[in-house]
Chains A and B, each alone.
Chain A
Amino acid sequence: MNASTSEKDPPPSPGPWRRILFTPVRDLIGLRAPNRLSINQMLIEAALPSALADLILLTTKKTRLTRAERADVASEFISHFRDGMESGASPDELVESFGEPRRVAKLIRRAKKRNRPMPWRVAMKTIKTVGLCLAAFIVFYLACGLYMLAGKPNVSVDYLAKVNATATSVPADERAWPHYREALLQLEKIPSLRTHSRQPMPGEPGWETFEAYLDEQAEALNIVRQAAQYPTLGFVVGWTFSEEDLKLWPGMDSHAAEIESKGGCLFNISINHLVNLRELAKTIALNIDRAAAEGDGARVVADTEVMLTIASHAREILFLINDLVGWSIVTLTVERVGDAVAHHPEAFSDDHLQELAHRFSACDELMRVRFDGERWGFEDLLQRIYTDDGEGDGRITINGIRKLSSISGVQTGSYSGEYSISHGTMDVLIAPALNTITASRKEMLLEYNRLLDICLAESKRPLWERDYSRFDNEITSYDQELFYRMRYLPVSLLIPALEKVSISAEHLRQRRDALLVAFALEMYHRQHKAWPDSLDDLVPSLLPAVPPDCFDGQPLRYTLVDGQPLLYSVGNDRNDDGGKPPVYPNTGRPNYLAASGWTSAEALANDPVRVARNDGDWILWPRPIEELIVYPEDEE
């Protein structure tokens, strides 16, 4: 034994603190393998000279085996060296006979690996292969991300110009909008009586407030009537506003400019003027109430024309929202003229009634369902979020993903308009996945148009024959299938409630048809001093044909209640209840609107609750008007 080595390298003695450090508790806290696998600890306990301990430590470390395998090898070496020392060999001799540690480690590693169980080796090989594949995929994925970063949209079609085509086709001095605007700048807001359950009609308490209002607004209303002489509204939508328009909507220019700077598309265009046109129509409607009560049928006819023209002006731009506002104005007109004929028939001459009948008969175009604006809007969005291959196809861009995120409210990053490295990194990471999932530009457009076409085809059939189940199923799949929703995200976000839109048009048509029958009834009453027994008596002299009930296709229902005529539809339950509306189950009071909502016959058959709620008819004319309740003024 080499005495100098053993004296120089006294075996380290594990102190109490070090012993504590190597308890199993430490391993547990550190989530490490058990202490029995600690080679350091084994060497400390073996009390080998440091030259041998270092040799074992170095060799086992270089083997790069598992912790358990290294511990096993170290144990064997410790045992070997101790045997050697006991048999009289010095540490130096043992070190010399050991061999070169790196070579030993290499040989041991090779042998030990062969010794590993087959499942373990298979698992390792699998992990290695999967790891390589994963690495290759990540490289490919990041390359795709960079490729996507290079894609830029190409806004090649000016859809805004298409939308404004009608407005800009007429000279500025032949447009109605400047006159409407002038009236709007003068017009006060319609009074709102907090104490009244509804707006009073002529003769009811509170009507005097509206009468006074109409007197004050007479000049503005005349300007509105002049505006309605122009066939074209001429309101040009866009990102900029004239100084005059900004008087109506202060601050709109900066708001619009901000949206435009963020890449706003057709769907972001401001259509504030629709609210204003509806306000004008409401004011004119008040005047129809007043004119009828004053027996001035000519004024009713004239203001009816004004209101229908405002409705037509509202629909000048082809968006669905324009149609809906236009229809709401036509509905308002039908209701008010219907009220006038019901409550003040004496105000109208036969010519007035005939003129009104002709005017409302010609409203079909106003009630037509159109999706042109929606298609343009969608195409405009696509050209801003996809690349353009020149053949109508392309892949989604990074900016497109951001735009979709902002539309859907899904945050894919903290993008605030400025591009930074972190955003770019995030984009590279998410873009390829989204690009893989998201449909191509062409597929996206086809899907959107397909859904629109399904609904458009259905809207051309009579309501009682319609079946929206196919469309409903498509929409349901967007709601329920995440992949489908993600693939066609713009479609699922932007497809309008087309079914409801089409049904709204049918409801309006039904109301309009009932009004035409009301005109005929009044004429019949004048001619015969009595109401007809059946609506067939009106045909053909006063009515070309009895219009159908939109719920079942049968002729519109007619009855006499207290000697007065009543026109109604069987309503959603498809049962003729003799003109009685549904009632609220808790109060027993009539619920006039409950029967008008349309549900397909199949869906209704499976929904007894709805059937019970809709049990009654939809009263069309005379329009049922809730009792006016006037509440006392508040103390404060």
Chain B
Amino acid sequence: MRVERELMRGAGPVAVLKLLENGEMYGYELVSALSRRSEGVLDMGQSTLYPMLYNLEAKGFVKSRWDNSNSGRKRKYYELTKQGHTRLATDTKQWAAITRAMIALGIVSDPKPAGRDMISGALA
């Protein structure tokens, strides 16, 4: 299932921030991880990812650098900034609240694992 663009606009950035929480990643790695770990729900192509990354960079939540990979090719790596960490924490709380509200409304009926918000759970 693919998420509507409007929903993706809200979920995408926090998903990317979450992925970068544990260390720097490059573009294709992010696309693959998002697709794999969200089981295709947050699947996004370059058309969404890269503009999103540039926006996050413009807002100061991530920073990028070019570096050589193990294969010797140059790649652009993204990592969270301090500001990005703060933003991620805030967004996580908000998403948890939304998830609880969704459960209360019966929109999300069987949260798994219990007690964790949907995004965190999906990306854990």
Contacts and interface: CB of A to CB of B under 8 A. Distances in A.
A86 B52 CA distance: 24
A86 B29 CA distance: 12
A100 interface: yes
Interface string A66-88: 00000001011101101110110
B41 to A, nearest CB: 16
Contact of B46 (A82, A97, A110, A111): A97
Contacts of A541: none
Interface of A: 73, 75-77, 79-80, 82-84, 86-87, 97-100, 103-104, 107-108, 110-112, 114-115
B57 A79 contact: no
A285 B84 CA distance: 109
Interface string B54-88: 11011100000010000101111000000000000
A79 B71 CA distance: 12
A75 B52 CA distance: 17
Decide if the interface of chain A is mainly helix, strand, loop or mixed: helix
A112 B54 contact: yes
Interface residues of B, number: 25
A103 B47 contact: yes
Most chain A CB within a 10 A radius of its CB, from B28, B45, B59:
B28
B61 to A, nearest CB: 12
Nearest to A103: B47
A75 B76 contact: yes
A524 to B, nearest CB: 109
Contacts of A104: 46-47, 50-51
A99 B45 contact: yes
Which 7 A-B pairs rank lowest in CB-CB distance, beginning with the nearest? A99-B47, A111-B54, A83-B28, A107-B51, A114-B58, A115-B58, A104-B47
A80 B28 contact: yes
B54 A79 contact: no
A362 to B, nearest CB: 97
Nearest to A109: B51
Nearest to B48: A99
Contacts of B58: 111, 114-115
B55 A114 contact: yes
27 contacts: A73-B50, A75-B76, A76-B27, A76-B76, A77-B46, A79-B26, A79-B74, A80-B31, A83-B27, A83-B29, A83-B75, A86-B71, A87-B32, A97-B45, A99-B45, A99-B46, A99-B48, A107-B47, A108-B50, A108-B51, A111-B53, A111-B54, A111-B58, A112-B54, A114-B54, A114-B58, A115-B58
Contacts of A112: 54
B50 to A, nearest CB: 6
